[in-house]
A and B are shown apart, each in its own frame.
Chain A
Amino acid sequence: MGEIWRDPAVADIAVRTFLVSGVATVFAMLLGVPLGYALGRGRFRGQTMIFAAVNTGMGMPPVVVGLIVWLLLVRSGPFGGLELVYTKTAMVLAQLLIALPIVVGFTAASIQALPPRLPDLLDMLGAGKLERIWLIARQARLGLLAGVMAAFGGIVSEVGASMTVGGNLQGQTRVLTTAIVTETSRGNVDRALALGVVLLLLAFVLNLGLTLLQQKPAKP
């Protein structure tokens, strides 16, 4: 098992895994936090239905998402012309769709848990738009960062969507989870286990950073 740490192919796969899931998480945050805020704060018709849809989305099987994205991107599909199927972009897209409801759901819940008069207070104190967003995000950061961690954890560990839309192409779209499947099917259980340890370490380091950020006490 020792030689795996010196294997450049493994480092390559680990970096790709981190990039694909990292980029998908960042996009999920950029889209999901404002959507979650609107869902948590607003009062509008159909809100409960959207909540139910988001909550369902949080538990969507990745392989189903992968299948849908694959059907859209495959050469004969509606977006086949983009030639995205079996690329990292396709994987980011599929992972983004898996992560988005998680970020939206966590954001909406943490915004709903804030004191209802908090926006009024910031408004009364004359907070500018950015100050307002910053103070509310800080106040809701337990839930927001939990959402980011859940989203990243969910997509970095999924195999179904990555396999379906990425195709597990060596040197191109192979990530840690699909590599583990490949190695296991070849009977290289040692190598598969080692890759599993790399995946866990990757997830742990990122989550450690986010947790430190989450649990940091507020300073004046």
Chain B
Amino acid sequence: MTDERMPLSLSGVRFTRPNGFVLDVPALELPSGKIIALLGENGAGKTTLLRIIAGLERSAVGEVRFDGAPPRKSGLAFAFQERVFLEGTVRRNLEVALRLRRLPAAERPERIDAAVAELGIEHLLAREASRLSGGEQQRVNLARTLALRAPLTLLDEPLASLDADTRERLLVELPAALRRFTRLAIVVAHERREALGMADHVVVLRAGKVLAAGPKSELFRRPPDVDTARALGLVVLAKDGVRYAVPDHEIKIGDDGAPGFELRVERVIDLGTHAEVLGHCAGQAVTVRAVPDARLPRPGATVRVVAGHAVELP
């Protein structure tokens, strides 16, 4: 029986690298119609998990199922972090990709035009792919992936090496495009902001294991443990044996509200518009925004801070 709403399932997946790294996913189900962010530190196994789902790690054991069967190559698109191109123009690279997918020749130009328009790279079509800049290559990489219109689309660091404008634009437009063409997209991004900005569902990996998985809003509302809270970018503060997860921008100097903490100030950076007060709070490095006026604390001082939107951790 396949659950219609959970088209991608992993069971008993295990993979060992020669260097001793082990990825171990006993069970994981991912919902359809969603964009999923894989979060985790460098070396947590994010890319490896994508490669296993794509069937590129032949020595992995266990089962990956998409709609009840192992994912078929023809229904899968994977944008590698390393941008790989065949020799020749951008057009040839997209053309060959669609040809290998057995898309009839008559339908290819329209697919190519739509994909390059999506990424704003119409002007690059006649250029040699391998001679483009890093950012341009990344856009071609994404265009080639979107052109496949695969129900299962995997993106490894899709916004890497893009200029700031393009990155901000794609942070909104890429999820929109993915929702149009795919049933399930998994995004790996080193930058938490990018990953969370695109996704509505989050899987947190640590040292080859799935720490938590669930809808983004739910995980933020109720992080299941300290490591997940940290992976989501929350600051974990302890007081009287209770640990709280707090968004770092919600920590403010002052004493109205609870819970309150003592912040030992180490450095103060006045940026004009605001100041950054860096220090340690309950053993945790914290950066607090403050108004740069006469009340700004000095290094060495201890001030009271309050944590808004604090969630008690179990």
Contacts and interface: CB of A to CB of B under 8 A. Distances in A.
Interface in A116-160: 116-118, 120-127, 131, 135, 138-139
Interface string B101-136: 110000000000000000000000000000000000
A115 B87 contact: no
Contacts of A121: 80, 84
Interface stretch (B22-30, B70-78, B239-247): B70-78
Contacts of B89: 218, 220
B91 A116 contact: no
B107 to A, nearest CB: 15
A110 to B, nearest CB: 13
Interface size class of A (residues with CB under 8 A): 20 to 34
A91 to B, nearest CB: 37
Contacts of B56: 120, 123-124
A138 B24 CA distance: 39
Interface residues of B, number: 25
Contact of A138 (B82, B87, B100): B87
Contacts of B84: 115, 117-118, 120-121
Given A125-B73, A220-B88, A116 B100 contact: no
Contact of A124 (B78, B82, B88, B96): B78
A6 interface: no
Chain A: interface secondary structure? helix
B186 interface: no
B73 A117 contact: no
Contacts of B80: 117, 120-121
Contacts of A117: 80, 82, 84
A192 B76 CA distance: 65
Interface string B137-159: 00000000000100000000000
14 contacts: A120-B51, A120-B80, A120-B84, A121-B84, A122-B100, A125-B101, A126-B101, A126-B102, A138-B86, A138-B87, A218-B88, A218-B89, A219-B88, A220-B95
